[in-house]
Amino acid sequence: MKTSRKAFQILSDLYSDKPLAIVRELGCNAADSMTAAGKGDQPFHIHIPNTLEPWITIQDFGTGISHDDIYSIYSVYFESTKTNTNSQIGCLGLGSKSPFCYTDNFIITSIHDGTKRIYNAFFNESNTPAIALMSTEKTTDSNGVAIQIPVKASDFVEFVRAVKQAFRFFDVKPTISGGKIDWLDETPIFEGEGWSSYGRFRFGYIFTNEAYAIMGGVTYPIDIYLMGRHTKHDQFLGRGGLVLKFDIGELDFTPSRESLSYCPQTIEAIKNKLDFVVEDFKGKLESTIQSKTKLIDAIRTLSSLNEKFYNLGIDFSKITWKGISIYNPMLLINNLCKVSASSKIITYSYAKHSRKKFRESNQVNFADKTKWYYDDLAKGTAARVKSHLRNNPDDCMCIFSMDAYNAVTNNSNPDMTFDKDMFLPTSSLPKAFRAPIVRSNGNVVTSTGMRIYRHGNSYQTIWDSEEFDASKPPKYYIVKNTSDWNFNLKIHKDIHPFNCKTDLYNLAEFLGISTDDIVMVSARHEKALANVSIKLEDYIKTIKLDFDIRDIATYQKYGNYMKDFSKIKKYKEFASNNADHPVVKFVDMVCSLGKKVEKYKSINNKFMKEGKCHQVESDNPAIKLLVSKITDFSWNDDDIVTILENLKK
């Protein structure tokens, strides 16, 4: 093709995502070079741009490029060294010129047969692409090519994103310098010959309907809506989290290599691949379940796979394990127990944000986190279970009566039994704690249980509730209001009361203690806790609060502009004034407040500061100007000059 700037611009504008195009095209070239050199199982290297090194470099350790080939490969479109091979990715002769879609010049370093040459690729005075040899030297380094492209600071993030996206599914990912790439931690649930299923891809917290085709390391999104008109497996394609791998040449793609070209050949290749994958997937799904040696593992595996792939048109109800129907495991349990009042099963869980704190169900929970127990207690089981859940709210507990336990662990068909080592006795749970209550007359009686409340998450109004453990008393306590989660903690006449979780967090920071050491207790249990813990209000009384409320108020008003006050002090016009000058005294006073109020910064918003600032000579014109200007946010140079001129007035 005739070399011209216009031709380059037309072809370079094929790319809608220029950073991604550059990274993808040059990365594919690097991978091809490594393959040609017999190093396909080794990584090439990428330097990502940063403030000190504002460029991206893509470097391979492959065959290198000869001096003669450099000129044609990097300045002539449709010139390629790969048109007669199916083992390498490129073939159009466009990718090597992709940097010109972003920049007017870039650096090429080629080591070939013991000679290292550095070139500059650029547009010359005639606006045509040109290659200039900049240096030549002998070297013992191995062959390879490095392309260095300058990157604008505003595009650093885009190039990092492009690297992460372009090589997401590369089997051998490039090594990285200049920064860090957080590769997505994606592990396929199933994979077979030429395909992988990830169950559905995620974008942040959202599941997305996506499928990808990979050919020669390049990832192409599959248009699932277009392909849906050509295949009966459209649900599987859209919701199976599929990555399909094709040999080079099986699919056609657009010149920009940003998408597939849906010609009959491409559509037929994807259809045939899907037909194979669906059957292979079903076989692997069934073999995964059959590979389990225990009934519970087979049930859990089927449940997990059904949850991930329920919408793919697969009839999970027909899948069995050793001839046993496990799709509805609760039905299996009921059949084993022959359901009777004495063979009841209760599943307990904790509801953190509900008025009724405990959920009870007659449905067995088969999740991995569920703990199964057999009830060997005559009484007190529910109390122990609830006490455990209060302290372990993420647990789920399934309690089998002795009849139910014997029924599911003893069966003439050993495959239809659950292992006894899955169960724990309820007697292994700690007894529910009964805390003492001290009456007003000093007598100690047994309570029905004592709850204490911990700070927990600052963003939640509700406190974390737990059973009081007398062997682990808290250091400090506060008293809970009767009707809500607030409290009323007064520590000084000039400080507003502390009454919520955020207040307590800030107060604890000021006191140098952890919120983990503070619990809240209801008023009726205060006396019992007072015997083993310190009331936070009493502890604060032992601390000297040596502040001047005027300092706090003044700093609150002017502290955000401290850099301006410090700046004006450096001018000789300011320093030459007498220390008793009203403006000098005012500025010095504000600058001195930082250290005075530093230790109170975490509770600064609780001080009663209204109308309590230090008085200043408001009639002084320089002070009036200084104060009026600072309320505009900050002083500019003109403001400072004006203020300094008014110092003498």
Q: What pLDDT sits at residue 78?
A: 45
CA proximity to 309, closest of 195, 196, 199, 197 = 199
Please name the residue that has the structure tokens 């070209």: 261
Strands 105-112 and 144-150: antiparallel
- What's the confidence (pLDDT) of residue 188? 85
Gap between the terminal Cα atoms of the chain: 78
Tell me, what's the pLDDT at 156? 95
Q: How far apart are CA 415 and CA 367, in angstroms?
A: 20
User: Minimal CA–CA distance to 487: which of 466, 459, 507, 472?
Assistant: 507
Q: Are 39 and 150 in contact (CB under 8 A)?
A: no
Q: For residue 90, what pLDDT is reported?
A: 45
pTM (two decimals)? 0.55
How would you label 27-42 residue by residue, b for 16+ Cβ within 10 Å and e otherwise?
Answer: bbbbbbbbbbbebbee
pLDDT at 217: 78
Most trustworthy range by pLDDT among 65-69, 123-127, 488-492, 616-620: 65-69
Three-state secondary-structure class, residue 29:
helix
Please state, in angstroms and rounded to a whole number, the distance separating the CA atoms of residues 649 and 644.
10
Contact 643, 626 (CB under 8 A): yes
Whether 343 and 407 have beta carbons less than 8 Å apart is answered as yes
Half-sphere exposure of 550 (CA within 13 A, CB side): 7
Instruction: Kindly report, residue by residue over 305-362, the tens digit of the pLDDT.
Output: 888 787 777 788 888 999 999 988 888 888 888 766 557 899 999 887 666 778 888 8
Render pLDDT for 188-206 as a digit per residue (tens, 0 to 9).
888 889 999 887 676 555 5
DSSP string, 180-232: ---------SEEETTEEE-SSEEETTEEE---EEEETTEEEE--HHHHHTT-T
Give the strand pairing for 358-361 and 345-350. antiparallel
Q: Provide Rg for the chain, Cα atoms.
A: 37
Beta strands 105-112 and 55-59 are unpaired
In tens, the pLDDT along 586-616 reads 788 888 887 788 888 888 888 887 767 777 6
Q: Is the pLDDT of residue 99 over 80?
A: yes
Q: How far is CA 204 from CA 50, 180, 208, 243, in A?
A: 25, 19, 10, 19
- Are 92 and 78 contacting, i.e. CB atoms less than 8 angstroms apart? yes
Which one-letter DSSP state was computed for residue 248?
T
* DSSP designation for 415: G
Distance CA 347, CA 359 (A): 8
DSSP assignment string, 423-489: EEEGGGSPPPP--EEE-TTS-EEE-S--EEEE---TT-SSPEEEE--TTS--SEEEEPPSSSS---B
Read off the pLDDT of residues 366-386 as tens digits, 9 standing for 90 and up.
Answer: 888 899 999 999 998 998 998
Rounded to whole angstroms, how far apart are CA atoms 80 and 101?
18
The reported pLDDT for the residue numbered 646 is 64
> What tokens does 269 get?
């290749």
DSSP assignment of 269-280: HHHHHHHHHHHH
Q: How confident is the model at residue 42 (pLDDT cuts 50, 70, 90)?
A: very high
Arithmetic mean of pLDDT, 465-470: 79
88-97, 242-251, 396-405, 510-519: least confidently modelled range = 88-97
Question: Kind and range of the H or E element at 297?
Answer: helix 295-309
Mean pLDDT of all residues belonging to the chain: 82
Q: What was the pLDDT predicted at 647?
A: 63
Paired strand residues for 195: 192, 244
Name the CATH superfamily for 5-177: Histidine kinase-like ATPase, C-terminal domain (3.30.565.10)
Percent of the chain with pLDDT over 70: 82
* CA–CA dist 603, 505 (Å, integer): 10
Q: 498-517: per-residue pLDDT in tens?
A: 988 888 888 988 888 988 89
Helix (H) / strand (E) element for 116: namely: strand 115-123
Q: How do beta strands 444-446 and 436-438 pair? A: antiparallel
Phi first, then psi, for residue 515 (nearest 5°) are -65, -20
Residue ranges covered by each domain of the chain: 5-177, 190-290, 329-415, 436-541, 549-646
Give the containing element (helix H, strand E) for 119.
Answer: strand 115-123
